Structure 1
């Protein structure tokens, strides 16, 4: 039996690979969530008028990869102290959010966030929000598995994030 997790952490191009390469991951889909426009396009989301956030929907086997492990991987891909974007991607459509599907996921995410704050790893508050999941709309095909389709562009887009991860984790 599989479960779903939804995470937003800036550009969804950079959020696929860290999860896609883990054991127990069935699929990782780039998409949009949290807004008020049904079936938004990339151009609509980029215009900051839909309320959506770029996110990834992960289908996973909890017998192999736990939700707790996914949350830990998530933290290591984002700057949890930056509420208005991630790295070079700025704006509310790039904000960091853990979207929970069930109350158990909410409790795990909140406990993990509290532990990260108390760890002292960051000298600023952890501002990543934890919100109930809303409708998830898959992004256009050219956004899916971008790191595999366009490795050079992916590496360019991922450089600042990779440097942050290396420095902080």
Structure 2
């Protein structure tokens, strides 16, 4: 009997087993993907919002980008010039089994100055305003509850709007994970690695000092900077 003939009876069970394993893996991956959710917020400089939320257990990824405007495929230059209607925003991907949307919303509002309608910290203008973007009635209700709670805790009028989600445009590659980048960049502080430049910018902009002043111990990210 030829060797190939001997292998035929064995090959079929092996192929079937392999198929079943692959099918189970694909089903598992699909189930995990269905459990993943996203929250899109605008909180001033997207480097800072991305840095903050990527430190949160249960957050899988935070992407810097642009949303809320009318221009398709905007660039950083386009948005910076104004007139596009886009916000600097961050799309937060999270596992709801580990952290809930309501908790993330509470953290977001206490990491910004939601009483400021003109921008955030040293960054002024429409691009840097705060906002929460929602895709359905359930998300809208949670966002409104978070705003009501934050306003009650703060004792000041909050102006952060809840807006209908539009297309989220991923920002250029060099903006992603800027806070931990190692590329050499030229800044007003001189040549710096991205991570060092980011720290200098964040401190000079007064983000953490202002958030700590406004929210005190309720500020989730200001203490570590």
Pick from 165, 190, 193: which aligns with 1:133? 165
- Contact kept, 8 Å, 1:14 with 1:157, in 2: the verdict is no
Partner of 2:58: 24
**Which has more helix, going by share of residues?**
2
Is 1:71 equivalent to 2:105 in the alignment? yes
> Which 5+ residue runs of structure 1 have no aligned equivalent?
none
Aligned pairs, number:
167
148-157 vs 132-141, which moves further: 148-157
**TM-superposed deviation, 1:165:** 2.1
Q: 1:161 aligns with which of 207, 210, 217?
A: 207
How far apart are the structure 2 equivalents of 1:28 and 1:116?
A: 23
The answer for unaligned runs of 5 or more in structure 2 is 1-34, 182-193, 217-225
Of 195, 198, 220, which aligns to 1:151?
Answer: 195
Give secondary structure in 1 for the equivalent of 2:64: strand
Residue aligning to 2:75: 41
Distance 2:180 2:91 in 1: 17
Length-normalised TM-score, structure 1: 0.95
Point out the structure with max Rg over C-alpha: 2
Q: Say whether the 8 Å CA contact 1:26–1:61 is kept in structure 2.
A: yes
Which secondary structure state, in structure 2, belongs to the residue aligned with residue 54 of structure 1?
strand
2-structure distance, mates of 1:77, 1:153: 21
Highest RCO, 1 vs 2 (Cα 8 Å, sep ≥ 6): 1
